[in-house]
A and B are shown apart, each in its own frame.
Chain A
């Protein structure tokens, strides 16, 4: 395994090189592999049926798996068809994390307020967002704060916090210095450079009015919330993305339900005692899509652009290109109602195609209580898959994206159902933390209400899964001490805060200190990409990269939103396992500009600038 380097900032070596289709040698190897697979499957199925069958009626027969005919890749930029799947795990080692929050000076606890209030907003909050607000190359952390939800924001309420990363193993509290004074009952964060000035801005989702902080470029922020035409209410997750591809970032805000904390809807038990309300007892509050007008103002357009649906109770959102047409789509995680997938019609309009494409409800036809979203191409077929976190009694759902055929819930086939049924899950990310070529999943769990009467606990252990060979493996016991503890986990966001090339994690817990999980994994070869947009938005949100290393393909996209109430560093880390040969990158910028790069040297950070024109 490779020794971890510290911070590096290496410019890419750019060569105009076409990327060849596969040669004959590969085909022969594949045929041989196919025969072997067939023989193994015959053996497995033979064992199953001979061991257990009683009779030979039509229900009892058992046949080997039918191999799918792969689609041959002719061009790395041809994104419309699924890529041929060749990958096998090169390592089954688990990622390993150390919680270093305290040793690095990151002291913060999200406070939910008096539990006796039993207000519905109390169990949901607690987000975080990574931001390099001072552009020193070190990723700083913005953390939400709750307080007393029954009182309006005032100096008596605790403020959100901004911690500056000093790059010497310490974080330093700079909230006041940076001009942050955010005392609403906060839920989440969405960071991005909406004005394309090179300095990241912050949107804070609140119970009330969302706060938009514009980075002044001098280490301070200015409250420009009036730029958003908004009304007070419940705001959960939010996502930035250039949905109209005009070069600046637009904003999608989830607004969950109509619940007024100052005049709360009262819900009672059968015996007349007050209890926390359930989402099905409260009216939905439709989400909003704000188009960036390019002059530091936004226009609310959800209705006119078709970005709406019935029973919209959204807690999570992701903006990414799910159908590979190079236009960003919007996936919305609704609580106990069908999820939305707003497909971009490329004319400013969107159509919800979640039910048609098979990602609205789980395989049992039931609308799940969706909270967090992770996005990644776990099966390496060139299309972004989805992982949704859910309430207790519902499994977290892995939707495999089949490309033109839509999505299919493969959780059962991937052995991922039983491990999550007992959890109430929120924040989640899908990344290759140990760079072995397989995606990992980290999940923040924790109940909403005190479930003592059910024999379960409010605090729940976080989970760490690895997806290899289309199977989900629970690596929680191997992931470090953090995963053996119990928390009420909520927001979770990734960044390479220590600059060593791999991704670390910030995880917010309710009424317990935030965790900073430093990635200590033994890892395979890797490549980290950072982006500077020119015609595209400055941070490259929406950039899609296809990496080829020999016969190995992987795609990544800087997706907007994802996780829950959280915001990641806009960076890509490709895990290459033991593949040490030079690789080729095909980059599609949100502007449509294409770029092709050959990378001879691995295990480094590359900063990519958008070229003025196609560069392939």
Chain B
């Protein structure tokens, strides 16, 4: 809700270690880079009224707003982009705003814009896969392949389920004529993209279907996220059982 990304990931992984994670936690983890919750902008607006100076609520209020239709920017001064720009002037070191601004520039292919934003990152960004991924994209577009490789692998090390970094890595592998490896990554990316569509369609109060969890486990395994893969497989094993034994194991 308030886009405290790092805390969210830490709490989910802690809950997994304690075997107290709800199935939905895996969906949140998988969607952590892109998740926008319906109604969250309004909730943050209400919280902001109670704490008008809150950077946390103000940023979350804007970033949870829906994107312009088809990604086409409206000319209105109160559209999401303009509001985010205004907030960025006040909070230039806010990682969520930076990640969003970089993402907007990345989507519009603005190499120079991404370069400028990456050049002005605060030190905390070094532990965030999104910025390493953007750095990889930048190097890739400047044909600096070793640097791109380094940055993308760092993004994946920081967040193993970063499938978008893998998508860029597939492009890099093609440039190095490693077509078979590129094809494997491409298949993983397409599976992840499909899964993202499916998970985004799950209502907030709905139970997560087992087949989605199975796919998430498979993806985590392919991405080398051992913690998530093994925990999910364990949970699936329980979920697939029936009757009293299922309750007992739980």
Chain A residues with CB under 8 Å of chain B are 48-49, 51-55, 57-60, 62-63, 65-66, 68, 338, 355-358, 360-361, 363-366, 391-395, 402, 404-413, 415-418, 421-422, 454-456
Interface residues of B in 93-124 (CB under 8 A from A): 106-112, 115-116, 118-123
**Which of B5-13, B57-65, B66-74, B235-243 lies at the binding interface?**
B66-74
A59 adjacent to B126 (CB under 8 Å):
yes
A358 to B137, CA, bound (A): 16
Q: Does B141 contact A (CB under 8 A)?
A: yes
Contact of A357 among B116, B126, B174 (CB under 8 A): B174
Contact of B72 among A51, A361, A393 (CB under 8 A): A393
Chain A interface, DSSP helix/strand/loop, else mixed: loop
A59 adjacent to B109 (CB under 8 Å):
no
A55 to B107, CA, bound (A): 26
A415 to B171, CA, bound (A): 18
Say how far A543's CB is from chain B's closest CB, in angstroms: 28
A412 adjacent to B120 (CB under 8 Å):
no
**Which of B19-27, B42-50, B81-89, B182-190 lies at the binding interface?**
B182-190
Enumerate chain B residues within 8 angstroms of A53, measured Cβ to Cβ.
119-120
Contact of B182 among A49, A358, A418, A456 (CB under 8 A): A358
Residue in chain B with minimal CB distance to A50: B119
Enumerate chain A residues within 8 angstroms of B137, measured Cβ to Cβ.
412
A407-B174, A421-B71 known; A68 vs B143 contact (CB < 8 Å): yes
Residue in chain A with minimal CB distance to B183: A356
A13 to B131, CA, bound (A): 59
Say how far A61's CB is from chain B's closest CB, in angstroms: 9
Enumerate chain A residues within 8 angstroms of B182, measured Cβ to Cβ.
356, 358, 406
A59 adjacent to B167 (CB under 8 Å):
no
A407 to B110, CA, bound (A): 21
A418 adjacent to B108 (CB under 8 Å):
yes
* 10 nearest A-B pairs in the assembled complex, by CB-CB distance: A417-B109, A412-B109, A393-B70, A365-B167, A52-B119, A393-B71, A413-B141, A356-B183, A405-B177, A418-B108
Enumerate chain A residues within 8 angstroms of B110, measured Cβ to Cβ.
412, 417-418
A59 adjacent to B174 (CB under 8 Å):
no
Enumerate chain A residues within 8 angstroms of B175, measured Cβ to Cβ.
402, 405, 408
Enumerate chain A residues within 8 angstroms of B119, measured Cβ to Cβ.
48-49, 51-54, 60, 62
Say how far A410's CB is from chain B's closest CB, in angstroms: 8
Q: What are 16 sample pairs from A and B whose C-beta atoms fall under 8 A apart? A: A48-B116, A51-B119, A54-B121, A58-B154, A60-B119, A63-B144, A63-B147, A65-B144, A66-B143, A68-B143, A358-B170, A364-B107, A393-B71, A408-B175, A409-B171, A455-B74
A392 adjacent to B70 (CB under 8 Å):
yes
Enumerate chain B residues within 8 angstroms of A338, measured Cβ to Cβ.
190
B174 adjacent to A363 (CB under 8 Å):
no
A355 adjacent to B183 (CB under 8 Å):
yes
A52-B116, A393-B71, A456-B72 known; A57 vs B143 contact (CB < 8 Å): no
Enumerate chain A residues within 8 angstroms of B189, measured Cβ to Cβ.
365
Q: Does B90 contact A (CB under 8 A)?
A: no
A382 to B75, CA, bound (A): 43
A421 adjacent to B177 (CB under 8 Å):
no
Contact of A366 among B123, B125, B187, B193 (CB under 8 A): B193
Residue in chain B with minimal CB distance to A416: B109
A422 adjacent to B72 (CB under 8 Å):
yes
Q: Does B234 contact A (CB under 8 A)?
A: no
A392-B70, A402-B175, A417-B108 known; A54 vs B120 contact (CB < 8 Å): yes
Q: Does B145 contact A (CB under 8 A)?
A: yes
In addition to A48-B115, A54-B121, A408-B171, 15 A-B residue pairs with Cβ atoms within 8 Å of each other are A53-B119, A59-B121, A338-B190, A355-B183, A355-B190, A361-B186, A363-B171, A393-B71, A395-B109, A402-B175, A405-B175, A408-B174, A412-B111, A412-B137, A418-B108
Contact of B142 among A65, A365, A408 (CB under 8 A): A65
Enumerate chain B residues within 8 angstroms of A357, measured Cβ to Cβ.
174, 179
A602 to B71, CA, bound (A): 47
Residue in chain B with minimal CB distance to A417: B109
Residue in chain A with minimal CB distance to B141: A413
Enumerate chain B residues within 8 angstroms of A62, measured Cβ to Cβ.
115, 119
Q: Does B164 contact A (CB under 8 A)?
A: yes
Contact of A405 among B74, B123, B174, B183 (CB under 8 A): B174
Q: Does B152 contact A (CB under 8 A)?
A: no
Contact of B125 among A59, A364, A412 (CB under 8 A): A59
Enumerate chain B residues within 8 angstroms of A366, measured Cβ to Cβ.
193
Interface residues of B in 158-216 (CB under 8 A from A): 163-164, 167-168, 170-171, 174-177, 179-180, 182-183, 186-187, 189-190, 193
